[in-house]
Amino acid sequence: MPATSGDLQLSSLTKRFGPFTAVDGLDLTIPQGSFFALLGPSGCGKTTTLRMIAGLEQPTQGEIRIGGQDITFDKPYRRPVNTVFQSYALFPHLTVWENVAFGLKRRRAEQVDKQVGEVLELTELAGLAKRKPAQLSGGQQQRVALARAIVNKPAVLLLDEPLGALDLKLRRQMQVELKRIQTEVGLTFVHVTHDQEEAMTMADTIAVMNAGRIEQLGAPAELYEHPATTFAANFLGQSNLIRATVKDRQPDVATVALPTGTVRVPADRLPAGVDEVWVGVRPEKISVSGDAGSEQAASGPNRIDGGVVTDASFMGVSTQYLVRTPWQQELTVFEQNRDGSGIHRVGDRVSLSFATQHTFALDAGQDAEAGIELDSEVVG
Amino acid sequence: MTSAAGPITAGEPPASAGLGAKSRRRFAGVPYFLLLPGLLWLAVFFVIPMVFLLSQSLQTGTLETGYRLTFHFATYSDALSSFGHQFLRSFEYAFLATLLALLIGYPLAYAIALKAGRWKPVLLVMVVAPFFTSFLLRTLAWQTILNSDGLVVRFFRSTHLISLTRALGWTNGDQLLNSPLAVVTGLTYNFLPFMTLPLFASLDRLDPRLLEAAGDLYATPLTAFRRVTLPMSMPGVVAGTLLTFIPAAGDFINSQLLGNPKTAMIGQVIQGYFLRINDYPTAAALSFALMLTILVLVSVYVRRSGTEELV
Amino acid sequence: MVATVGQRPAGVTRSAGPARRRRPPWVVLRENVVWVVAVLALIYLLLPNLVVVLFSFNKPNGRFNYTWQRFSLDAWLHPCAAPGMCDSLGLSLKIGVVATLVATVLGTMIAFALARYRFRGRAGSNLLIFLPMATPEVVMGSSLLTLFVSLGIPLGRLTILIAHIMFCLSYVVVTVKARVAGLDPRLEQAAADLYANEWQTFRRITLPLVAPGIAAGALLAFSLSFDDYIITNFNASNASITFPMYVWGAAARGTPVQINVIGTTMFVLAVLAVAVGQLAGRRRAR
């Protein structure tokens, strides 16, 4: 059973509930020992995928392998997989110690005391071993859930939005903790979340999921700087997407016409074969300068002149502007609060500028609204 | 999207069966296996006897000479015309008892559910505590409480309430016992917990923040009660009413111990005809008629609320 | 200098609300009328119990125990002095235990089926289980009687037992089902995730968490069985007298004080059982 280790492989994994397809032909290989995040909005199928790996759901089609061994139809208690549940699912009638020892006892492991003790140390729960879950705080319960899973040294550890119920400060703390523990213990973590900041903080690799499919797969920085779809561009951080037409393609750079003016886009960031595109640039990459005539030209040759500030929100670390372009689109700009100098005010006329290498383009056939979350989703 | 949470959602197998579809497919018969013994017992010892009861009511003969199924429907008309009074009286007393139980039980349930705070478990035990003693003993205790030399009777006499109740036909002579008043008092008492507990369950589920919201939206406490609490406690009211009225209609202990021959309820007649007079067809006819009437009431209720709320 | 006045947006003025007014007495009464009625209702409910307890210490003059004569411990010291009472008590206890056992097992099985599975015939099952709770005892007792008579089964302990199991079942189902339905299914998923097979999950997680509900159902079944008169009377013989039947007969013949002793003992035991149950529940949570 849990002796096997190795990569986790999902092949053509599909799950249908009647007419509704929750997971649509997923192909994924998660390397052993990595911290992998399944990121996506509520309803994208990430939790269903997790439950299929755990054995709590049966796939309609496809296979799941760990280290080459097919576990697709194995019962949950026969898989070398453990889950940290979103609601923790701690056994209320057992103490912390008994909760953590549960899996070891079922497997008739040796040196149960020693292993439990070590894990309690690791998760900083040593003094609470005799308490019952009802007597613990949210953060402590979360760590018990983690300890209970980790102590079994599974080939794959699944985490189903484990930090959702914690307040912000605690969540940030636990993000760091989880990463530290994962590095120390060396297990494969598969973390499901809808919080893109959380995924980017903790994961080595992120798979962005939408409507049962993977939109894009890669390291956080790669996904963030080079989104391949509008969904990825909007879901990870924010993006400004402007409708444009390709005018001229050169080997290394292309010229693209915005409704007013032109910008330059690196050739490798341009979708092939289409001339109608969304030009994209992230808000933090844009500089705002005063009237066109001012000398404070910012970085990069891409400029949009004739903008008017319609909103300015001072957020301490940065100021968020909404700037209306000559073609009546509101672009979002984050200006870092470098020197505490004055901010632009509503009604100011400004110019926006950004570097060529920070500009990307996506097929205009994609939905520019994809991936924009209107509220913060709570339950996965 | 599968909900990570528990409740059964449409199209999705119950979450507990998530131990792999393989186990589900192999043991698809599990629920039936679990249900079978108990349901079989009920079928054999509840449903089938009803059939026998109906059949018995249509037979003629005596215990000595044996019975034959003759479909003698006249038994019903005879029985109902002879004992129509008792029948009606049973429903009348049951209705009164139910009404009183509702009027008394609702404030009680309300107090426990919404105002008791820490005392809730204690108060609940106090509501259920009567059950801890045999109900025959408790009903006999009413004989003590209402007897001619007791405090209650003396109070009624000194305030001349006794004249009022006598004028209304609720009591006889100088006593409170052996009267319709005593019977209804006993009935109400016996079934008050049956009314209170469902009411409590329903009111307990009420989120007090709804009342706060109502107040925030300019509702006076009375309006909030009328428009929020009362409608939302309706399932409890219906359940409590059913659980009170139905057994009360068939009860005769109270009538026998606290009443007089003129307060006889249909249950007494049925028992007498079965066990003393041994006129099984008549008794069975009365019993079945009672059952039928009640079935009609239950089906009206079920039609309105479905069967999931019943159990 | 630190600014102490907040930014005041234009157009908003502040007015102080009225201080807490003194409330007229009828308002106070109206607000507390619920409590008044509730307390009166509780007195109404518990008065007979108190009378039963009190009169177990009575020494009546005649055959009946309805008026207070004087305090005496006689009945308590000689609980079995009344002829036939202790026998009837023993029979009631025996039948109670067996009926409780059978009804609890069958009822728990049904409760699990109803709470955990979707299946065809669910509505019918719900109805069948509900009906005995909604049927007057006269009807249930008399119908069973016709069954037994028609089949030639002699009335006695067996028929009483059969009847008791029948009417206790539904109450067990309702009690246990409520508890099972409230059990978080994710706990069982977690157990499976932690290498417990179906049986281990049931034994170590499900059963301990459902046990209070089963205990409550069993307790309810026992009290229903012990206390039943009407159905029992229909299906008993002269040789099988249960305690309620004895009391009923006593109401006509003469009520010995000992029946109050039994009633009081039952009451005290039940209160103790509830108290212990509450304390155990609180300790478990701690």
- Other Cβ atoms within 10 Å of C125 Cβ, number: 22
pLDDT of residue C102: 97
Cβ <8 Å between C123 and B287: no
- Secondary structure of residue A333 in the 3-state scheme: strand
Cα distances from A340 to residues A286, A309, A317, A319, A322, in angstroms, run 18, 19, 10, 10, 19
Whole-number Å distance between alpha carbons of A93 and A349: 65
Question: B47, B140, B145: best mutation site toward chain C, by most C Cβ within 10 Å?
Answer: B140
Provide the number of CB pairs (under 8 Å) joining chain A to chain C: 64
Q: 């910008």: which residue's tokens?
A: A263
Of chain C residues 9-48, which have a CB less than 8 A from chain B?
31, 33-35, 37-38, 40-42, 44-48
Please give the structure tokens belonging to residue A183: 């590095």
Q: Is A324 on the interface with C (CB under 8 A)?
A: no
pLDDT tens per residue across span A289-310: 875 444 444 556 888 888 999 9
Reported ipTM? 0.80
Whole-number Å distance between alpha carbons of B33 and A336: 68
Sequence-ordered list of residues with C-beta below 8 angstroms from that of C144, at least 6 positions apart, any chain: B45, B49, C159, C162, C163, C166, C231, C234, C235
pLDDT tens per residue across span A80-122: 999 999 999 999 999 999 999 999 999 999 999 999 999 999 8
Whole-number Å distance between alpha carbons of B137 and B144: 11
pLDDT of residue B75: 86
Q: Which residues of A touch C193 (CB under 8 A)?
A: 54-56, 76-77, 81-83, 149
- Other Cβ atoms within 10 Å of B91 Cβ, number: 18
Confidence at B135, pLDDT banded by 50, 70, 90: confident
Would you say C178 and B311 are in contact if contact means Cβ atoms under 8 Å apart?
A: no
Provide the number of CB pairs (under 8 Å) joining chain B to chain C: 297
> What are φ and ψ of residue C225, in 5° steps?
-65, -45
- Other Cβ atoms within 10 Å of A273 Cβ, number: 6
Q: Is A152 on the interface with C (CB under 8 A)?
A: yes
Bridge partners of A104?
A: none
Bridge partners of B185?
A: none
Measured in whole angstroms, the distance separating CA C228 from the mean position of its chain's CA atoms is 13
Print the SS3 string covering chain B. CCCCCCCCCCCCCCHHHCCCHHHHHHCCCHHHHHHHHHHHHHHHHHHHHHHHHHHHHCEEEECCCEEEECCCCHHHHHHHHHHHHHHHHHHHHHHHHHHHHHHHHHHHHHHHHHHCHHHHHHHHHHHHHHHHCCHHHHHHHHHHHHCCCCHHHHHHHHCCHHHHHHHCCCCCCCCCCCCHHHHHHHHHHHHHHHHHHHHHHHHHCCCHHHHHHHHHCCCCHHHHHHHHHHHHCHHHHHHHHHHHHHHHHHCCHHHHHHCCHHHCCHHHHHHHHHHHCCCHHHHHHHHHHHHHHHHHHHHHHHHHHCCCCCC
Confidence at A48, pLDDT banded by 50, 70, 90: very high
The one-letter amino acid at C90:
G
Cα distances from C154 to residues A104, B55, C151, C245, in angstroms, run 58, 20, 9, 18
Measured in whole angstroms, the distance separating CA B138 from the mean position of its chain's CA atoms is 18
Find, among B133, B126, B135, B132, the residue nearest to B108 by Cα.
B126
For A48, which of B2, B20, B22 is closest by C-beta distance? B2
> What are φ and ψ of residue B296, in 5° steps?
-60, -45
pLDDT of residue B311: 60
Task: Report, as an integer, the average pLDDT of A208-222.
Answer: 93
Task: Report, as an integer, the average pLDDT of B112-140.
Answer: 85
Find, among C271, C257, C272, the residue nearest to C77 by Cα.
C257
What is the largest distance, in Å, between two alpha-carbon atoms of chain A?
Answer: 78
Whole-number Å distance between alpha carbons of B49 and C144: 5
Please give the structure tokens belonging to residue A296: 């404070």
pLDDT of residue B14: 38
The strand pair at A287-289 and A349-354 is best described as antiparallel
Q: Indicate if the pLDDT at residue C16 is higher than 90.
A: no
Whole-number Å distance between alpha carbons of B41 and C110: 12
pLDDT tens per residue across span B168-221: 878 877 788 888 889 999 999 999 998 998 899 889 888 888 888 888 888 888
Q: 């029992």: which residue's tokens?
A: C232
Cβ <8 Å between A17 and B5: no
Task: Report, as an integer, the average pLDDT of A17-22.
Answer: 92
Cβ <8 Å between A75 and B23: yes
Q: CA B283, B284, B288, B290: dihedral to nearest 10 degrees? A: 10
Would you say C249 and C31 are in contact if contact means Cβ atoms under 8 Å apart?
A: no
Cβ <8 Å between A47 and B2: yes
**Distance in Å, alpha carbon of C8 to nearest chain A alpha carbon:** 19
Confidence at B20, pLDDT banded by 50, 70, 90: very low
For C186, which of A77, A85, A93 is closest by C-beta distance? A85
Please give the structure tokens belonging to residue B94: 């049951």
The one-letter amino acid at A339:
D
Q: Indicate if the pLDDT at residue C109 is higher than 60.
A: yes
pLDDT over 70 percentage in chain A:
93
Would you say B297 and B87 are in contact if contact means Cβ atoms under 8 Å apart?
A: no
pLDDT of residue B305: 64
pLDDT tens per residue across span C170-203: 999 999 998 998 899 999 999 999 999 999 999 9
pLDDT tens per residue across span B30-63: 888 899 999 999 999 999 999 999 888 888 877 7
* Interface list for chain C against chain A, based on CB atoms closer than 8 Å: 184, 186-187, 189-197, 200, 204-205, 208-209, 284-286
- Secondary structure of residue A277 in the 3-state scheme: strand
Of chain C residues 184-223, which have a CB less than 8 A from chain B?
184-186, 188-189, 192, 198, 201, 223
Mean pLDDT score across all residues of chain B: 82
Sequence-ordered list of residues with C-beta below 8 angstroms from that of C177, at least 6 positions apart, any chain: B311, C110, C111, C114, C115
**Distance in Å, alpha carbon of A76 to nearest chain C alpha carbon:** 5
pLDDT tens per residue across span B68-96: 888 888 888 888 888 888 888 998 999 99
Find, among C191, C111, C117, the residue nearest to B17 by Cα.
C117
Q: 């509503």: which residue's tokens?
A: A346
pLDDT of residue A342: 67
Sequence-ordered list of residues with C-beta below 8 angstroms from that of B118, at least 6 positions apart, any chain: none
pLDDT of residue A213: 93
For B2, which of A57, A75, A76 is closest by C-beta distance? A57
Whole-number Å distance between alpha carbons of B156 and B133: 28
Confidence at B261, pLDDT banded by 50, 70, 90: confident
Please give the structure tokens belonging to residue C182: 């409230």
Q: Indicate if the pLDDT at residue A273 is higher than 90.
A: no
Task: Report, as an integer, the average pLDDT of B213-235.
Answer: 86
**In the complex, which subunits touch C with 3 or more CB pairs below 8 angstroms?**
A, B
**In the complex, which subunits touch B with 3 or more CB pairs below 8 angstroms?**
A, C
Beta-strand ranges (E) seen in C50-183 are none
Sequence-ordered list of residues with C-beta below 8 angstroms from that of A147, at least 6 positions apart, any chain: A100, A119, A120, A122, A123, A125
pLDDT of residue C164: 96
Q: 């067990």: which residue's tokens?
A: C172
Would you say B249 and C135 are in contact if contact means Cβ atoms under 8 Å apart?
A: no
Top-confidence range, A213-222, B205-214, C32-41:
A213-222
Q: Indicate if the pLDDT at residue A368 is higher than 60.
A: yes
Confidence at C20, pLDDT banded by 50, 70, 90: low
Bridge partners of B6?
A: none
Task: Report, as an integer, the average pLDDT of B238-266.
Answer: 88
- Other Cβ atoms within 10 Å of C14 Cβ, number: 5
Whole-number Å distance between alpha carbons of A159 and C73: 68
Cβ <8 Å between B5 and A58: no
pLDDT tens per residue across span C216-244: 899 889 989 999 999 999 999 888 999 99
Print the SS3 string covering A129-195. CCCCHHHCCHHHHHHHHHHHHHCCCCCEEEEECCCCCCCHHHHHHHHHHHHHHHHHHCCEEEEEECC
Whole-number Å distance between alpha carbons of A18 and B2: 12
Q: Which residues of A touch C208 (CB under 8 A)?
A: 93
**Secondary structure letter of residue C71 according to DSSP:** B
- Other Cβ atoms within 10 Å of A11 Cβ, number: 16
For A372-379, the CB contacts below 8 A with 24+ separation are A372/A234, A372/A235, A373/A41, A373/A235, A377/A41, A377/A42, A377/A194, A378/A164, A379/A42, A379/A164, A379/B3, A379/B4, A379/B5
Cβ <8 Å between C138 and B17: no
> What are φ and ψ of residue B110, in 5° steps?
-60, -45
For C284, which of A83, A93, A106 is closest by C-beta distance? A93
Whole-model pTM: value is 0.78
Cβ <8 Å between B31 and C165: no
Cβ <8 Å between A83 and C284: no
pLDDT of residue C285: 55
Sequence-ordered list of residues with C-beta below 8 angstroms from that of C183, at least 6 positions apart, any chain: C206, C209, C210
Q: Strand A205-210's sheet: what is its strand order?
A: A81-84, A156-160, A188-193, A35-39, A205-210, A213-218
